[in-house]
Amino acid sequence: MHEIFQGTSVIAMVSLARAADAVPLASALLRGGLRVIEVSLRTPEATAAIQAIGRHLPDAVVGAGAVLTGADVTRAVEAGARFLASPGLTPDLVAAGLGSDLPYLPGAVTPSEVIAAREHGFSLLKFFPAAASGGTEALRQLAPVFPGIAFCPTGGVDGETASGYLALPNVPLVGGGWMAPAEAIAAGDWAGIEERARRACRLRPH
């Protein structure tokens, strides 16, 4: 997990209605400097998109997001995902994620969820939905209670708020899709996506 995310401050989170958009989108993100791409499994084309990116763009680190079940873990592994991410965690999902041998980023927002994740050996957690769960103030209060636990906030994080999260001592990276909104993907605005990715790539933890 740390090897994949080393030097990464922003994970590009994308949802693709058409697998045909996967390679040009990922290429634009790579040109902008974002190499870690999380493809949401919420669409029927997601696994085909992960396969296409992995096949054609070996420099991209493509993972599967919105992993909710053991079946999702299987789909992601078969598609060639290089990491898994979930918005929460359950015992069955944790077992499937750990059993996949892929780096796995489960979600936790409450103290009880963080404790449960820590008991399974996780030290990096997704914090989703960040904005609706207290945002930077919630993470600031979790920091002294859970030393050694880091978070990747997603959900409501954008180019305006990302720097505030990255200023926190327990936030080494954030995730969001503001650099590749659905309308830009649908329009094939790869230049615009590349430019927003380039700006996102300049964000760094403090």
CB 99 within 8 Å of CB 76: no
Of residues 38, 119, 137, 183, which has the active-site annotation? 38
How much is the average pLDDT of 184-202? 98
Residue range 3-39, pLDDT digits in tens: 888 889 999 999 999 999 999 999 999 999 999 999 9
Domain boundaries, the chain: 2-201
Exposed, middle or buried, 78 (CB in 10 Å: 0-12/13-18/19+)?
exposed
pLDDT of 1 strictly over 80: no
> Looking at residue 53, what is its pLDDT?
98
Q: What average pLDDT does the chain have? A: 97
pLDDT at 130: 98
pLDDT for res 5: 87
Angle, helices 135-145/111-119, rounded to nearest 10 degrees: 50
Report the pLDDT averaged over residues 65-84.
98
pLDDT band at 137 (very low <50, low <70, confident <90, very high): very high
User: Tens digit of pLDDT for each residue in 142-153?
Assistant: 999 999 999 999
Q: Is pLDDT above 80 for 79?
A: yes
Catalytic residue among 3, 78, 113, 126: 126
Q: Is 160 left (phi over 0), alpha (psi -120 to 50) or beta?
A: alpha
The pLDDT-based confidence of 206 (bands split at 50, 70, 90) is confident
Asked whether the beta carbons of 67 and 93 are under 8 A apart, the reply is yes
Residues 6+ apart with CB under 8 A from 122: 104, 106
Q: What is the pLDDT of residue 13?
A: 98
Percent of the chain at pLDDT exceeding 90: 96
Place of tokens 């078969």: 78
CATH top class, domain 2-201: alpha beta
126 is known as an active-site residue: yes
State mean pLDDT over 98-124: 97
